[in-house]
Amino acid sequence: MKEFSRLDRIGDQMQRELAVMIQREVKDPRLDAMITVSGVKVSKDLGYADVYVTILGKEDKPEVIAENMAILKQAAGFLRSRIGQAIKLRVVPQLRFHFDESVRRGQELSSLIERAMAEDRSRHREDGKD
């Protein structure tokens, strides 16, 4: 059981470090300033860390997402070496970046719920007038 808690702690620490590093140290001007690291899942053998990112305000533009993901993949080696300096680990995981669609899905579901509630309220008003 300890192994999982250690992996979770490593993932949490990597998430915090990467969030700052992506904002301050990746110097590509095409990189969107609103990138957030929503989670990091570290493999049991510390071989890989899957880094989930969101790009706030740009979820609806696939070309912007693709460009930002490509920039992060190019910066993965640099970020990995910086993580190695920031976190004392014998093995620093390879970074694999993934776009986290859960925020976008959550926004879509919220808007669907809002629309359904508004339609329901308008139906109740119409029923009350009859």
Alpha-carbon distances, residue 41 vs 4, 37, 45, 82, 113 (angstroms): 11, 11, 12, 18, 30
pLDDT of residue 27 exceeding 80: yes
Mean pLDDT of the chain: 87
pLDDT the model gives residue 60: 65
pLDDT digits (tens, 9 = 90+) for 38-82: 999 999 999 999 999 988 765 567 888 889 999 999 999 999 999
pLDDT of residue 22 exceeding 90: yes
Domain 2-99 sits in CATH at: 3.30.300.20
Q: Domain ranges in the chain?
A: 2-99, 102-130
Predicted structure pTM score: 0.77
